[in-house]
């Protein structure tokens, strides 16, 4: 449980008062394209929640530029841009991807002269064959199922200005890393890193993923609601896979529906809920900003770190 004394707890009604006069270029169709499968978000959410969020973010971004400029001047180093990295964390099925994609789109509109990139840590999961060899396929999503060394090296290369940095690509359709496919990121001004593990502090490591972050967001909701959204998403994925034999969910789509849903409930309880309680939720208090969602994915309040 987050120690709320370290955060300003701000209701949505209060938070929306902080917005400036933004010209929103997003259309409803564009917003629907950014929204995850069974997530819910409206143009009103964009105006009342995300527009003030971008103004608040700007405080950190401007300070970031000033600090690195002064540091380079003090050390008599040539001027160079240092990417600003944002971490977006939260449970499976809580809506992290929607938040990350929306942030990327709105930041690109706010700073049209900048390059804003997005990547997910799913690409740094060990391939299924490796998880099987390690005997941890049932622990997929837990800290040990990620190639953390490669993820840390990726972020180090980004932060230090490597010309082109490659990341593996994960497919939810095949439920595995896509062989021989890479996401190439050229030096960005802003990089958004989305994943359940981005705020974790795995043991036996000297450098953590979060060490590279300049700001972080945690998307939060009650466990019973996340379970509901997870099961809804599972059923939608089955529906979509009915005519796709290569899709991971095809095996469930053509089988007994009740058995498939019972299996999904078991996966939620034994894997995702366990992972949430033991490894994801304990990191919430490390986030700079918390978006809290309630029924219908409605954002009812935010929390802003005091220090």
Binding site for ATP: what residues are annotated?
90-97
Q: Which helix (H) or strand (E) holds 225?
A: helix 223-241
CA atoms within 13 A on the CB side of 292: 16
Residues paired with 193 in a beta bridge: 87, 119
Inter-axis angle of helices 257-267 and 223-241, nearest 10 = 140
Residue ranges at the known binding site: 90-97
List of residues 6+ apart from 174 with CB closer than 8 A: 246, 247, 248
Region class of 262: left (phi > 0), else alpha (psi between -120 and 50), else beta? alpha
Q: Which helix (H) or strand (E) holds 71?
A: helix 51-74
Least Cα distance to 219 among 307, 306, 283, 149 occurs for 283
Number of residues written out for the chain: 307
- CA distances to 10, 89, 229, 297 from 225, in Å: 21, 17, 6, 9
Least Cα distance to 168 among 185, 151, 181, 155 occurs for 181
Tokens of 146: 């990620």
87 contacts 201 by C-beta, under 8 angstroms: no
């Amino acid at each position: 449980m987050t120690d709320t004394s370290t955060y300003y707890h701000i209701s949505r009604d209060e938070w929306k008062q902080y917005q400036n006069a933004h010209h929103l270029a997003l259309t409803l169709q564009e917003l629907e394209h950014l929204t995850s499968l069974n997530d819910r978000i409206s143009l009103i959410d964009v105006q009342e929640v995300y527009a003030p969020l971008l103004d608040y973010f700007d405080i950190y971004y401007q300070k970031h530029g000033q600090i690195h400029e002064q540091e380079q001047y003090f050390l008599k180093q040539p001027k160079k841009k240092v990417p600003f990295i944002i971490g977006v964390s939260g449970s499976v099925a809580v809506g992290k991807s929607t938040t990350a994609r929306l942030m990327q789109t709105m930041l690109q509109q706010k700073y049209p002269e900048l390059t804003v990139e997005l990547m997910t840590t799913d690409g740094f999961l060990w391939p299924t064959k490796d998880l099987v060899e390690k005997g941890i396929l049932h622990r997929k999503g837990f800290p040990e199922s990620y190639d953390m060394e490669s993820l840390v090296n990726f972020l180090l290369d980004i932060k230090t200005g490597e010309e082109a940095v490659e990341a593996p690509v994960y497919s939810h359709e095949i439920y595995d890393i896509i062989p021989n496919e890479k996401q190439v990121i050229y030096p960005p001004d802003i990089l958004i890193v989305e994943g359940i593990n981005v705020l974790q502090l795995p043991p036996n490591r000297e450098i953590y993923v979060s060490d590279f972050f300049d700001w972080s967001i945690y998307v939060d909701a009650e466990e019973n609601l996340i379970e509901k959204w997870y099961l809804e998403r599972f059923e939608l994925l089955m529906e979509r896979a009915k005519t796709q034999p290569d899709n991971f969910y095809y095996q469930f789509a053509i089988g007994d529906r009740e058995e498939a849903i019972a299996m999904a409930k078991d996966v939620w309880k034994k894997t995702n809920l366990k992972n949430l309680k033991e490894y994801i939720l304990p990191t919430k208090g490390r986030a700079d900003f918390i978006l809290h969602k309630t029924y219908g994915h409605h954002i009812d309040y935010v929390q802003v770190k005091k220090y």
